[in-house]
Structure 1
Amino acid sequence: MTTTHLIRQKNPPAILSLGFRPFFLLGSIYAAVLIALWVPWFLGLISVPSAFPPTAWHAHELLFGFVPAIVAGFLLTAVPNWTGRAPVRGLSLGALVLLWLTGRIALALSAHLDPLLTAALCVSFPLALAAVIGREIVAAKNWRNLKIVGALIGLAGADALFHYEVFEFGRLKHAQTLAVAVALLLVMTIAGRIIPFFTTNWLKQNRPGALPQLFGRYDMAAMLLSGAALLGWACLPVLESLTAQARPIVGSAMIAAAAAHFYRQSRWTPLRTFAEPLLAILHVAYVFVGLGFLLSGLGVLNDNFEFASAGLHAWTTGAIGTMIIAVMTRVSRGHSGRKLTAPVSTVVLYATALIATCARIGAALHPELTSILLPVSGAAWILAFGGFAALYGPMLMKQRL
């Protein structure tokens, strides 16, 4: 038995016993704090000592701060089940948490730091996470999940590009769309496995009848189509310089991907799950994957900024944000020994997350209402993720029942 394995066997504090505990807690707190800062900053009411302008800081910290924290919590909890190996815990887990925190502090104070140092501190976390997850997968020869490592490396690359574009050009060109595409592919991959699996288990116990179709050839075809559409979307400015047909081709591919995801979801029998909100919210969140493709596709076809922005926020606030709170509540309840059912307080979290999503999409489609809908969306987002930290924080810091 190796020294590392022996260290892992020791009993660390509850908060460092599994990856979901520190990362879900800190990630949810950070999600609430960054929106609480960004909305008044965006409206010109406060200033922040960051070298990034408010819109770029907001995008960066959602895509490279908040999202990787939750992804880390999920993967560090799920990978031991995939591989049969001991989980990363204790000092090793604490080091990853510290690395994530360092990146957040560096970006917040980046006006006083060297740009290269800021970039290095931010990019180091997804690379370290990829190395840890990759080590576990390779050691267990769990080759089919190596694509997760590739996605993490892609996220790190998008983060590096983000820093380069901000400091070289003063604005974003490709990094934000690339990061959204990678994050969305992660959501589609993970959700495509856990939603039908969780739905099947619940239906067998509670609603005998038709069961979801598990991951198969159709899902693979939908993922390939989506990947191609997202690649075209992320590279649209380059493609437009090469051919006048770029917009019709990419826009049509995105609308086709929307149809593919709506049909994909219909194969998971979503309407049979609404008696249990803990399960139903996963299906509701996935609706925004298809909706984002549809709105973004219309935006590309018509060169329409409102539709493009609405599609982007359907993906980020809806598909990613709502899916995150759905997964966090389920994983936290299951791994802390609670019943896999959503109490009223948790349903309120889901409602506020959906309000945040709908208000943000509405603000994109109706810019004249931004001063009303943006604060509504921000307040609802803060209630959703701040509420998660308040409700679930105590169970994350205590041993499993």
Structure 2
Amino acid sequence: MQTGASARECRAAGPRVMASTAEQMRAWRGPAILSYGFRPFFLGAALWAAVAMALWVAVLTGAADLPLAFDPISWHAHEFLFGYLGAVVAGFLMTAVPNWTGRLPIVGARLGLLAALWLVGRVVVAVPGPLSPLAVAVIDLGFPVLLALAILREIVAGKNWRNLIVLALLGVMIAANGLFHWEAARGDFAAEGYGLRLGLAAGIGMIALIGGRIVPSFTRNWLVVQGSPARPVPPMQRFDKLVLLASGAVLLLWVAAPARAEAGWALLALAALHAARLARWSGWHGRGEPLLWVLHLGYGFVPLGALALGVSILWPALLPPAAGLHVWMAGALGLMTLAVMTRATLGHGGQALTAGPGTVAIYLCLVASVLLRLWAGMSGAVWPLHLSALAWAAAFGGFALLYGPLLARARRR
């Protein structure tokens, strides 16, 4: 399974797929940003990640007073997990599915409608006005439900049954979002509820599944071009399937009983399994290309996050649970999605698949944000938290500045 990161890497899908996709894009005469699914959603996700972080800091410091649909911490968690990540998942799926199924991509007005629904969801969750919690939930869930139906139609029409698992994980995210809204409406602290954990588990499951295919594949492609004899272990071997099955079991245990010692020990074991899986992909040999090592580093936050959460459960005095949670949320989800967005934008924008200094800078800003957030949680100091927020906004604001023009203009011929 490929992300559609470049024409060269997707050529295996066959000439008919490539030709029909190109014909569909050429037939579109409207704004270039509506010519492919990754364009509006990757740009919207990056802008929202930066803006939402700035709004959250302003609310926490008293500089702004927004009538949020949830308490500030729950809103912050919701808008990253279901707002930002939801847009990235949409951009990825709407770019990858045509390559999986051989069908034409969704473009133009239909794509614009989906993007508008996502944006309306962000507005009503931030400023619900007279809307009831039920109305806010219905509006917010409208986008992912419609996306799932569109993706299901394409997979069924293309008889691409092997990728139904990705759609199933999207379904889990939708259910988790609905559960988050329900918990908040009944007065629970949704940032520590079942909905958040279930949504995060689905996100980590997507990284384990999709990342487990693209990271070794892209690594092999790069090593072949470089003439290196090193090769990663091919994706989805028996060990990979074992890790995925173990991940599902451990994540469900953590969702259901996050404070139990059994969940802590299981997370430590899961960390070891994912670290061993990552070590099989020859990441060290790709250290010369940032577009490659960032994928390995992003995946590396999966075992690091499992380790941090396990430690926070077993020895909470060493690491608060919220700090451990951010290793997965900001580290694994944040860096992995940023890596995929940069690579896909370069490839589909007709650019060389190599990272310049600006791209390396936004990667480093995001890594710094994760480390500073971890430091803030361990030390109890406030200033690392503010620096973490600044580094986060710089990473995604930097992506919007660097890659926004590529996303908004037609592909170079």
Q: TM-score range by the shorter chain?
A: over 0.9
Alignment deviations for residues 227-254 of structure 1 (CA, whole Å, 9 cap, x no partner): 11111111116xx7xxxxxx23221111
The Cα shift of 1:110 comes to: 1.7
Matched, 1:233 2:254: yes
Matched, 1:212 2:232: yes
1:10 aligned residue (5, 8, 27) = 27
Q: Which amino acid aligns with 2:254?
A: W
Q: Unmatched 5+ residue regions in structure 1?
A: 241-246
Could you tell which deviates more after superposition, 254-263 or 148-157? Answer: 148-157
Matching of residues 2-401 of structure 1 within 5 Å: 10-11=27-28, 12-172=30-190, 173-213=193-233, 214-236=235-257, 247-304=260-317, 306-367=319-380, 369=381, 371-401=382-412
Question: Do the aligned partners of residues 390 and 85 (structure 1) sit closer, same or farther apart at CA in structure 2, a change above 3 Å counting?
Answer: same
The Cα shift of 1:111 comes to: 4.5
Is the 2:46–2:400 contact (alpha carbons within 8 Å) kept by the matching residues of 1?
Answer: yes
Q: Which amino acid aligns with 2:27?
A: K
Is the 2:311–2:319 contact (alpha carbons within 8 Å) kept by the matching residues of 1?
Answer: no
The Cα shift of 1:153 comes to: 1.2
Is the 2:194–2:256 contact (alpha carbons within 8 Å) kept by the matching residues of 1?
Answer: yes
- Aligned-pair identity (%): 45
Is the 1:129–1:152 contact (alpha carbons within 8 Å) kept by the matching residues of 2?
Answer: no
**TM-score of the aligned structures, taking structure 1 as reference length:** 0.93
Q: Which amino acid aligns with 2:402?
A: L
Measure, in 2, the Cα distance between the counterparts of 1:210 and 1:190.
22
Is the 1:31–1:382 contact (alpha carbons within 8 Å) kept by the matching residues of 2?
Answer: yes
The Cα shift of 1:112 comes to: 2.8
Alignment deviations for residues 53-104 of structure 1 (CA, whole Å, 9 cap, x no partner): 1001101110111001011111101111111111111111111101101111
Q: Which amino acid aligns with 1:136?
A: E
Task: Report SS of the residue matched to 2:92.
Answer: helix
How many residues are matched?
A: 387
Alignment deviations for residues 156-193 of structure 1 (CA, whole Å, 9 cap, x no partner): 11111111111102422211111111111111111111
Task: Report SS of the residue matched to 2:105.
Answer: coil
Q: Which amino acid aligns with 1:129?
A: L
Q: Unmatched 5+ residue regions in structure 2?
A: 1-20
Could you tell which deviates more after superposition, 60-69 or 102-111? Answer: 102-111
The Cα shift of 1:7 comes to: 8.5
Measure, in 1, the Cα distance between the counterparts of 2:62 and 2:195.
25
Q: What is the root-mean-square deviation in Å for CA atoms of aligned residues?
A: 1.7
Is the 2:362–2:396 contact (alpha carbons within 8 Å) kept by the matching residues of 1?
Answer: yes
Alignment deviations for residues 175-234 of structure 1 (CA, whole Å, 9 cap, x no partner): 111111111111111111110110000000114212111221111111111111111111
Task: Report SS of the residue matched to 1:49.
Answer: coil
Is the 1:288–1:315 contact (alpha carbons within 8 Å) kept by the matching residues of 2?
Answer: yes
Measure, in 2, the Cα distance between the counterparts of 1:75 and 1:184.
16
Is the 1:8–1:90 contact (alpha carbons within 8 Å) kept by the matching residues of 2?
Answer: no
Measure, in 2, the Cα distance between the counterparts of 1:85 and 1:51.
39
**TM-score of the aligned structures, taking structure 2 as reference length:** 0.91
Is the 2:125–2:140 contact (alpha carbons within 8 Å) kept by the matching residues of 1?
Answer: yes
Measure, in 2, the Cα distance between the counterparts of 1:44 and 1:170.
23
Alignment deviations for residues 317-347 of structure 1 (CA, whole Å, 9 cap, x no partner): 1000011111111000000100000011111
Question: Do the aligned partners of residues 318 and 7 (structure 1) sit closer, same or farther apart at CA in structure 2, a change above 3 Å counting?
Answer: closer
Measure, in 1, the Cα distance between the counterparts of 2:262 and 2:286.
36
Measure, in 1, the Cα distance between the counterparts of 2:292 and 2:284.
11
Q: Which has the higher contact order (CA 8 A, sep 6+)?
A: 2
Query: 1:243 maps to what in 2?
Result: none
Alignment deviations for residues 24-54 of structure 1 (CA, whole Å, 9 cap, x no partner): 1111000000001101212333211213110
Query: 2:6 maps to what in 1?
Result: none
Task: Report SS of the residue matched to 1:306.
Answer: coil
Is the 1:203–1:211 contact (alpha carbons within 8 Å) kept by the matching residues of 2?
Answer: yes
Measure, in 2, the Cα distance between the counterparts of 1:300 and 1:231.
15
Measure, in 2, the Cα distance between the counterparts of 1:132 and 1:305.
45
Task: Report SS of the residue matched to 2:319.
Answer: helix
Task: Report SS of the residue matched to 1:169.
Answer: coil
